[in-house]
Amino acid sequence: MPAPLPAPLPAATWPAHSLPSYLNPAALGSWGDYLQQVDRVIPYLGPLSRWAETLKRPKRILVVDVPIHRDDGRVAHFEGYRVQHNVSRGPGKGGVRFHQEVTLPEVMALAGWMSIKTAAVNLPFGGAKGGVRVDPRTVSTAELERITRRYTSELGLLLGPHKDIPAPDLNTNEQVMAWMMDTYSMNVGVTTTGVVTGKPVDLGGSLGRREATGRGVFTVAVEAARHLGLPIEGARVAVQGFGNVGSVSAKLLAQAGARVVAVQDQDTTLYREAGLDLPALLQHAATNGDIAGYAGAEPISQEAFWDVESDILIPAAMEQQITEARAGRIHTRLVVEGANGPTTPAADDLLAERDILVVPDVIANAGGVTVSYFEWVQDFSSFFWSEDEINQRLVRLMREAFATVWAVAQERQVSLRTATFIVACQRILHTRQLRGLYP
- The mean pLDDT of 135-149, rounded to a whole number, is 96
Residue type, 267: D
The residues that bridge with 79 in the sheet, in sequence order, are 65
**Residue 319: per-residue pLDDT:** 87
Instruction: Report helix, strand and coil shares of the chain as percent, to nearest 5.
Output: 50, 15, 35
* pLDDT at position 30: 87
State the average pLDDT over residues 270-283.
94
Residue 323: exposure state from Cβ atoms within 10 A (0-12, 13-18, ≥19)? middle
Q: What is the dihedral of CA 380, 382, 385, 391, to 10 degrees?
A: 30
Does residue 54 carry a pLDDT above 80?
A: yes
| Distance of alpha carbon 73 from alpha carbon 353, whole angstroms | 57
Residue 385 burial (C-beta neighbours within 10 Å; 0-12, 13-18, 19+): middle
**In the annotation, is 93 catalytic?**
no
pLDDT at 355: 95
Write the pLDDT tens digit of every residue in 366-421. 999 999 999 999 999 999 999 999 999 999 999 999 999 999 999 999 999 999 99
Q: Cα(219)–Cα(215) distance, rounded to whole angstroms?
A: 6
- Count the neighbouring beta carbons within 10 Å of the beta carbon of residue 302: 13
**Domains in the chain and their CATH numbers?**
58-191 (3.40.50.10860), 212-364 (3.40.50.720)
Answer yes or no: are the C-beta atoms of 297 and 270 closer than 8 Å.
yes
Q: Which pLDDT tens digit goes with each residue over 57-73?
A: 999 999 999 999 999 99
Q: Is there a contact between 114 and 213 (Cβ–Cβ < 8 Å)?
A: no
H or E stretch at 299: strand 298-300
What residue type is assigned to position 146 of the chain? R
Beta strands 126-133 and 75-86, pairing class:
antiparallel
Instruction: State the DSSP code for 236.
Output: E
429-438 confidence digits (pLDDT tens): 999 999 999 9
Q: Which whole-number Å values give the CA distances from 187 to 121, 163, 172, 192, in the listed order?
A: 33, 16, 22, 10
Q: Do 310 and 282 form a contact (C-beta atoms < 8 A)? A: no
Q: How confident is the model at residue 318 (pLDDT cuts 50, 70, 90)?
A: confident
Q: Where are any strands of DSSP class E within 55-174?
A: 60-69, 75-86, 92-99, 126-133, 164-168
Residue among 93, 117, 129, 199 flagged as catalytic: 129
Q: How many CB atoms lie within 10 A of CB 133?
A: 17
Q: Give the pLDDT band (50/70/90) at residue 266.
A: confident
Q: 3-state DSSP call for residue 97?
A: strand
Instruction: For the full predicted model, state whether its pTM sits above 0.75.
Output: yes
Measured N-to-C along each axis, helices 278-288 and 244-255 cross at an angle, to the nearest 10 degrees, of 160
Residues 372 and 395: beta-carbon distance below 8 Å: no
